[in-house]
Amino acid sequence: MKGRLRIALFAAAFTAVAFFVAHIGAHAFSEGYAIGFDPQKTTCLPWRVFLLEKGVSGELRRGDIVRIHAKGLEPHFEDGAPLTKFVAGLPGDTVVVRDDKVYINGLYWGRLWLLHYLKKKPGSFDRSFTVPEGHVLLMGVAPNAYDGRYWDAVPVSWITGRATPLL
C-alpha cells in the first residue's frame, strides 16, 4: 500500500511540475514568437506560413527574412499592414534601377513588372542610391512584389522581427 501511495504522490507531483513547466514554456514562446500567415492570393515570397521571432537580435545579413509594418505605402498597403521581405541590401550597398531593372552592387535582382499596375511610365523609377546607415533594402522574389525597387530602403527601426519559413 505504501508503495502505491508513493507512486501516486510521485505521479501527482510530476504531473504538477510538468504542467507548470509547459505553462511557463508556452508563455515564454508566446511572448517571443508568433505564427504569421500571408493571406494574399499571390505572395512575393515562396512561403505562406512563418515562425515570427519578435524583435531583432544580432546583426542583419543579406538573405535574412524580416517582418515590418508598412508606413506610407498607401494605397497598396495600409499603414500598419505586416509585410515579410528578404533583406537584399545593407548599409553602403549600391542600388541602381535602370531601364526598369534592379541591380544591387552590380548584380541583377529583377525587373519592375508592376509599372502598368502602378500606372507609371517606363523609366519612372530609374535612379541610383547607396543604402544609408541604419537602413536596409527589402525585396520579394515574385515578379509582382511591391518592394524596395519601388519604395527605396527602410529604417531598421521598422523591422519588428525575423521570419523563418514553415510552409
DSSP string, 24-36: HHHHHHHHHEEEE
Please report which helix (H) or strand (E) contains residue 164, including its range.
Answer: strand 159-165
Mean pLDDT of 42-57: 91
Q: What does the alpha-carbon distance between residue 153 and residue 137 come to, in Å, rounded to a whole number?
A: 4
Is residue 93 domain-shared with residue 126, that is, in the same domain? yes
Whether the predicted model's global pTM rises above the 0.85 cut? no
pLDDT of res. 56: 83
Q: What does the alpha-carbon distance between residue 14 and residue 62 come to, in Å, rounded to a whole number?
A: 46
Domain membership of residue 5 as a residue range:
1-34
Note the pLDDT tens digit of each residue in 79-90.
999 999 999 999
Is residue 28 domain-shared with residue 7, that is, in the same domain? yes
Is residue 2 domain-shared with residue 20, that is, in the same domain? yes
Is residue 12 domain-shared with residue 94, that is, in the same domain? no
For 78, the grid coordinates are 495600409
Neighbours of 91 (CB within 10 A): 15
Note the pLDDT tens digit of each residue in 131-155.
999 999 999 999 889 999 999 999 9
Note the pLDDT tens digit of each residue in 97-136.
999 999 999 999 999 999 999 999 999 999 999 999 999 9
Q: Kindly tell me if the per-residue pLDDT of 71 is higher than 60.
A: yes
What's the structural domain count of the chain? 2
Q: Comparing 107 with 42, which gets the higher pLDDT? A: 107
* CA angle in degrees (0–180, nearest 5) for 83-87-88: 125
CATH number, domain containing residue 76 = 2.10.109.10
Is residue 92 domain-shared with residue 145, that is, in the same domain? yes
* CA angle in degrees (0–180, nearest 5) for 107-61-55: 140
Share of the chain above pLDDT 70, in %: 86
Q: Kindly tell me if the per-residue pLDDT of 30 is higher than 70.
A: no
